[in-house]
Structure 1
Amino acid sequence: MSDGMSSSTWVGRIGGVCLLLFAIAYGIGGSQIEYAFASDPLGPRVMPMLLAALLAGLCLIYLIRPGASEQFPRGRLLARILAVPALLVASALLLEPAGFAISIFVLTLGVGWIFGAPLRLAIAGAIGQALLWWSVFSYLLDVYLPAGRLFG
């Protein structure tokens, strides 16, 4: 690079900018939470706003002094790295039409397969994760989980 910075420094800064954008989006989302005035002195906005501010502050520090980082990934590694957020988006989009269990199944199956699990083990793990988290949220925590339009 012409300014004396190594390419690995720029990789770190790219990650810092991405996380800073995420912190800003998270803070904006947290600020939009509506709640009853008398529900809590601080309300539900405080925690997302504090987390967003903390992440943004750490990102700014990292942007100023990035330190050493790995080289930018290429080829199959880059495809694997990009596939995980794509699976998260697909899982979120599946939540309403297919329900929580199918959404978590697809997410964990895909992540297991991306990271090298044999397909039958990835399927078994995905079934186990879907059953585990459905049970935890539905029965232990008594949280409503969408069954999806396909099932309910």
Structure 2
Amino acid sequence: MSRAADRMLGLILMAVAAAYAVSAARLEVPFAYDPLGPKAFPFGLSALLAVLAVVLLVRPAPGGRWPTGMLLLKVVATLAVLALYGMLFSVLGYVLASALAVLALAWLFDAGIGKACMAAIGMSLGSYVLFTYGMDISLPVGTLFGGH
């Protein structure tokens, strides 16, 4: 990528960070289960994204090339998997959606089917246990399975 492309990406990411912060500001929960509330994590992510966008604006990379061929295909496929994950998260629930996303990403980056399945099961169940029991964060069961 050229310096101009890095700066353009920095501006786009700055706009995304601002939109994410506005979205986080509108987040309302009927009860407060912790002192920070549900807005702290999205605000933190938007601040981090804004800082990284500023780095791209101020210090763009000296050179580089866009990915081509198979690498470009993998980058596009990764973005598609992540977009599908976001769309299916509430429908399939956290565990199933996460398992399918990890399975697809592991397979996409050349893990064998056995390793991909083990990673999908381990990461989805492990992170579910961590979030639910370790952090007391409720995750969606999925409307497909009768959840809300």
The answer to whether the superposition gives a TM-score over 0.5 is: yes
Question: CA contact under 8 A between 2:82 and 2:101: conserved in structure 1?
Answer: yes
Deviations 1:32-90 (A, max 9, x none): 12368x99998654664465355335424522431324211122211211222221221
The residue aligned with 1:145 is 139
Aligned residue among 86, 91, 100 for 1:92: 86
Percent identity among equivalent residues? Answer: 35
Report the TM-score when normalising by structure 1.
0.74
Unaligned runs of 5+ in 2: none
Where in structure 1 are there 5+ consecutive unaligned residues? 1-6
Within-5 A mapping of 1:1-152: 7-34=1-28, 45=39, 48-49=42-43, 51-53=45-47, 55-152=49-146
TM-score, structure 2 normalization: 0.76
Structure with higher Rg: it is: 1
